[in-house]
A and B are shown apart, each in its own frame.
Chain A
Amino acid sequence: MTATSSTRSARRRAPARSARARDEARLGWLLAGPAFVVMLAVTAYPILQAVYESLFNNRLTAPDDRAFVGLKNYGVVLTDPVFWRSLWVTTFIMLVTVLIELVLGFALALVMHRALTRLRGLLRTAILVPYGIITVVSAFAWFYAFDITSGYVNTWFDWVPGVGPDLNWFASQGTSLFVIIASEVWKTTPFISLLLLAGLAQVPGDLEEAARVDGATPWQVFARVIVPNMKAAIMVAVLFRALDAFRIFDNVFIMTNGANGTEVLSLLAYRQSISRLEIGLGSTISVLLFLCVILICFVAIRLFRVDLASARGEK
């Protein structure tokens, strides 16, 4: 698609803006302003409120004890092993899911890319089903399949060492995380594979052809031609999935509710604020979670040079 080159010309424009440009700017903000204001109102305002609240010792069950404590809440959270454990669990889930999904998503994208037109619609429809399904529903589906009373996985896979009729998947950390990660991967791989499919479409076909003529093996074509040509798409897909996985909440809540060392950061924040009404501590965790997201973005953009603008058709 053609990228907009108009912003370029805008920079070259003489500083004295013509009346027409002024009118255009006014109309532009008139049209786009409401959306902009709404976005800020529903996110920037609450996060600033959370920063403010995190400086107070505030428990809704004892509203009269509300007092300014400065950074004490941060001290409490950052010295608590519970926080570090949930940060670690969240990071672990994020890394593992993104890795598996990248491989699986690439496989699915290549299948869709190479498929005949007849099959393409069918494959795309099938792949979109997990994307469209409510996360909570997918969590229940996986939970009931593995659950010790209502599940059938133990019966089906009793030939696997360690799996038997009395294996409770949700009773220990390793097995719980396995099911949580499986459900997360199932639900979100379609999204990554569609982004990669769009990236595949951008790889010039004659390059692949040329490599093949020169005697490259399929693997070489993939590693030396396809991947380098869609680096931007891969990076954007990975960054988006990573940030999304870092916010994981729904399936953990349904399957284990954070028991047996599966508590993730979002769940910890939820438990502090909504269940225990510790608004001060809950806000503190919320702010720290927000900082983690910013940090991941920053690392991705600096370290891997994810150029969001170019990949998203912005110039």
Chain B
Amino acid sequence: MGVLSKRQRVWWTVITVLVLLYALFPVASIAATSFKSSAELNSGQMLPSSPTLANYEQILVGSAQELFLSALRNSIGISLISTVIAVVLATLAAYAIARLDFPGKRLILTTALGVSIFPVISIVTPLFNLWRTIGLYDTWPGLIIPYLSLTLPISIWTLAAFFRQIPWELEQAAQVDGATPFQAFRKAIVPLAAPGVFTTALIAFFIAWNDFVYGISLTSTSAARPVPAALAFFTGASQFEEPAGAISAAAVIVTIPVVVLVLLFQRQIVSGLTQGAVKG
């Protein structure tokens, strides 16, 4: 494409504005709700006429603080741990799939595909029953383990696709040049593999962070309840209070990290998502 004509420039401006509106309007909408005072909630207008931080106070330092902050802690901890476990296991598996020739390679990839389309609710009932028997109900491990069913398959696919593109000959080349096997691996391969591993971790974290079904089915108190489930069960400070403002404020807070990560790593996320799905 060369220089745009005036008409094309107008077109592109219009299209860009439309896409931005599509993508960001609902986010703006809930952000607007989060700044409304309880008196203004039913004004029938999108924007608050006198924005207030009362809702944020309520969930961060006020009456709902304990509820929200413990959910935040649970969400961050559980999502991070299950992401790390999934990425470590997937790195080993993807390395084997990309570099070695062994019977059962296809079986592992097919299994990962099968697990990723699994209806989550189908395994919630048996887990609910089992967890209550063995005491994992409403605990961190009780969520970390089922989260692996969400994070592991996609990690295996994405990493296998990334690792297939690494020129593994570099390792031999480095050894020919006199590096020890460990040095060769660390200096030639790790820098090439690291971005793929990081991107995979990011996508896996998004998926774990997003979970709702396991979160509401396998927890009952703030001991392990993650943010999405806590939001669903959140009621106002008193029964006369509409919780919409507080829920919106909490929603905005948990959306901020997502938006920041997307801003920083949009290129990697896009390549990671499309890598695992289609020949990149």
Chain A residues in the interface with B (C-beta under 8 A):
1-4, 6-7, 9-10, 21, 24-25, 27-32, 34-36, 38-40, 42-43, 46-47, 49-50, 53, 60, 108, 111, 115-116, 119, 121-138, 140-142, 144-145, 147, 149-152, 154-156, 165, 183, 186, 190-191, 194-195, 197-199, 202, 232-233, 236-237, 240, 243-244, 246-247, 249-250, 253-254, 265-266, 269-270, 273-274, 279, 282-283, 286-287, 289-290, 293, 297, 308, 311-314
**CB <8 Å contact, B19 and A28:** no
* Top-8 shortest CB links A-B: A28-B102, A198-B274, A46-B123, A313-B279, A49-B126, A31-B96, A141-B30, A35-B93
**CB <8 Å contact, B115 and A43:** yes
Q: Does B134 count as interface, using CB distance less than 8 angstroms?
A: no
Chain A, interface SS category: helix
Counting contact residues on chain B (CB < 8 A from A), the size range is 35 or more
**CB <8 Å contact, A243 and B16:** no
Q: Does B278 count as interface, using CB distance less than 8 angstroms?
A: yes
**CB <8 Å contact, B267 and A121:** yes
Q: What is the CA–CA distance of A256 and B99 in the complex, to the nearest angstrom? A: 50
Of all chain B residues, the one with the shortest Cβ separation from A117 is: B1
**CB <8 Å contact, B212 and A253:** yes
Residue-wise interface mask of B (245-276) relative to A, using a CB-CB cutoff of 8 A (1 in contact, 0 not)? 00110010011001101110011011001101
Taking A123-B19, A154-B44 as contacts, is the C-beta distance between A136 and B231 under 8 angstroms? yes
**CB <8 Å contact, B153 and A39:** yes
Q: What is the CA–CA distance of A29 and B85 in the complex, to the nearest angstrom? A: 18
* A134 interface neighbour in B98, B118, B126, B255, Cβ under 8 Å: B255
Q: What is the CA–CA distance of A20 and B153 in the complex, to the nearest angstrom? A: 29
CB-CB under 8 A from B102, the residues of chain A are 24-25, 27-29, 32
**CB <8 Å contact, B19 and A308:** no
CB-CB under 8 A from A27, the residues of chain B are 96, 100, 102
**CB <8 Å contact, B129 and A21:** no
Closest approach, in angstroms, between the C-beta of B35 and any C-beta of chain A?
Answer: 13
Q: Does B170 count as interface, using CB distance less than 8 angstroms?
A: no
CB-CB under 8 A from B276, the residues of chain A are 312
Residue-wise interface mask of B (219-230) relative to A, using a CB-CB cutoff of 8 A (1 in contact, 0 not)? 000000001100
CB-CB under 8 A from B273, the residues of chain A are 131, 191, 194-195
Q: What is the CA–CA distance of A130 and B28 in the complex, to the nearest angstrom? A: 12
